[in-house]
Amino acid sequence: MTIRANIPRMLWVMAVTLISLSTWGAKLKVSENKRFLVYEDNKPFFYLGDTAWELFHRLGREDADRYLQVRADQGYTVIQAVVLAELNGLQDPNPYGHTPLKNGDPTQLNEDYFRHVDYIVGKAEKLGLFIGMLPTWGDKVGPKAWGVGPEVFTKENAAVYGELLGKRYKDRQIIWILGGDRTSDDPKHQAIWRAMAQGLRKAVGKNQLMTYHPPGGQNSSKWYHNEEWLDFNMWQNGHCDDVMVWERIQSDYNREPIKPVMDGEPLYEDHPICFKPKEQGYSNAADVRRFLYLNLFSGAFGHTYGNHSVWQMHAPGRKGVNGPLSFWYEAIERQGAVQMRYGKDLVLSRPFMTRIPDQTLIVSDPGSGAKRIQATRDSERTYAMIYAAASRTFTLDLEKLKGEKLRVWWFNPRTGDAKGMPEMERKGKHDFTPPDAGENIDWVLVLDDAAKNYPAPGKAK
């Protein structure tokens, strides 16, 4: 049978509103097992983020309302945005003519600019969204830095700036993200980020979570894993299509002390692959889906999506960065953006807090890249999910699971549909072949202990 979610848009919007009311002013913490994020009452929080880096800087209120409403309707939970933005954010004013700092001084906030930030934070909160707030993008210092600059931070003023932001937003739905595509190899810059983190922590205490957004191909744990202020690790896996993200996520998953880990910036949809559009073309929905499932199944607690036109809020009259293919208000409805929620719904339809990566389930070649196969299960062995990036037969060791009989499902990451198959005995090794063949035709095999009577994959428990 095929199970579809055919909820009329009006009913869906009502549901989003009810969820929003229940989470308005919510707080997050790290789960007891240190692998996930949860609400104060220990209910699971799935971090489904979107990189809207230029949101505060480039969108007026009407446009911000439109963007946030669409992302809330699509099931996102976190919007990642930058206060001192990358695209000349210190000197190029927002739509209302305001820049963020007085005289370029981080200790003097421009109240007019920040009232606009306040508005967006409040609107997001009413929709049940958290803002992943980056206090600043990386200054133009060093060969790997981004932005126009100038460098305005010292150790001393970074601490003051962090405390000012913390006091302003300490009671809001904020996740703090330091770094901004910035390496921390220079001890001087490490001191600046530590000071900013200390200023934030002084203001917000333990009421809000904090992490660090590194440059491409890097991770926060390289510099800050043992820092008290770093609540979870973040990778930026970058914008190539052949990144072995499972190895990167696993490297942090296995670190001690244990901290949650996720990919805060993978390959964007509609992005020039490896920044080489003529040679390698642009990414598509299949690419961003693949990284969603490979990250999650290798141990990530959540995931961030991005679209190349959306992060820069590309619009008529603006010079695009690295060849955007559309305008932001068109790109927010792209196929990959819509499909992200299917992965979220899938993992939340089974016990979430006990989910672990386990490649030992797969006894055939797991492959790599666009042919990768990745497995996850719960620690109690009552279910397993195996992602196949392309339709290939693979072999599983069913002795790794529990139950006399297994209920079998094929979950379609492109539609969110689940197709039930006949139950089978849990014996030895078994071959599984996805329903449809083809490159970029991805599937998730879901195996349940039949006695648990779990709902269809992707449907509420």
Global pTM reads: 0.93
The tens digit of pLDDT for each residue in 312-370 reads 999 999 999 999 999 999 999 999 999 999 999 999 999 999 999 999 999 999 999 99
CA distance 35 to 441: 30
Higher pLDDT, 150 or 40: 40
Question: What's the confidence (pLDDT) of residue 5?
Answer: 42
Q: What is the pLDDT of residue 448?
A: 98
Q: Which residue has the tokens 């990768």?
A: 372
Where does 42-183 have alpha helices with state H?
55-58, 61-73, 111-126, 155-169
What is the predicted pLDDT for the residue at 110?
A: 98
Cis upstream peptide for 257 (omega within 30°): yes
Distance CA 178, CA 197 (A): 8
Mean pLDDT of the chain: 93
Q: How confident is the model at residue 438 (pLDDT cuts 50, 70, 90)?
A: confident
Residue with tokens 């001191």: 191
Neighbours of 13 (CB within 10 A): 14
CB 376 within 8 A of CB 355: yes
Cα angle 413, 417, 367 (rounded to 5 degrees) comes to 30
Domain locations along the chain: 29-348, 355-452
Distance between CA atoms of residues 407 and 447, nearest Å? 6
Task: Given CATH 3.30.930.10, say whether it is the number of domain 29-348.
Answer: no
CATH 3.40.50 corresponds to the domain 355-452: no
Residue 440, pLDDT score: 85
pLDDT at residue number 139: 64
Amino acid type, 153: F
Does the pLDDT at position 143 exceed 60?
no
Please return the burial class of 295, using the count of CB atoms within 10 Å of its CB with bins 0-12, 13-18 and 19+: buried
* CA neighbor of 89 nearest in space, from 121, 64, 125, 53: 53
Please report the pLDDT score of residue 59 as a whole number. Answer: 98
Sign of dihedral through CA atoms 332, 333, 335, 336? positive
How much is the pLDDT for 13?
40
What's the pLDDT score for residue 151?
84
Tokens describing residue 458: 């992707």
pLDDT at 8 over 70: no
When pLDDT is cut at 50, 70 and 90, the band that residue 96 belongs to is: very high
- Residue 149's pLDDT is 67
DSSP, res 359:
G
Confidence of residue 24 (pLDDT cuts 50, 70, 90): low
Per-residue confidence band for 120, with pLDDT thresholds at 50, 70 and 90 = very high
The answer to whether 150 and 229 have CB atoms below 8 angstroms apart is no
Residue at 180: amino acid letter: G
Strands (E), 166-275: 174-178, 210-212, 218-219, 233-236, 261-263
Assign 140 a pLDDT band (cuts: 50, 70, 90). Answer: low
Predicted pLDDT at 246: 97
Residue pLDDT, tens place only, 294-324: 999 999 999 999 999 999 999 999 999 999 9
The mean-pLDDT minimum among 98-107, 118-127, 264-273, 435-444 falls in 435-444
CB 337 within 8 A of CB 308: no
> Looking at residue 7, what is its pLDDT?
42
* Token pair in block for residue 454: 């779990």
CA pair distance 437, 410, nearest whole angstrom: 13
Q: Which pLDDT score is estimated for 371?
A: 95
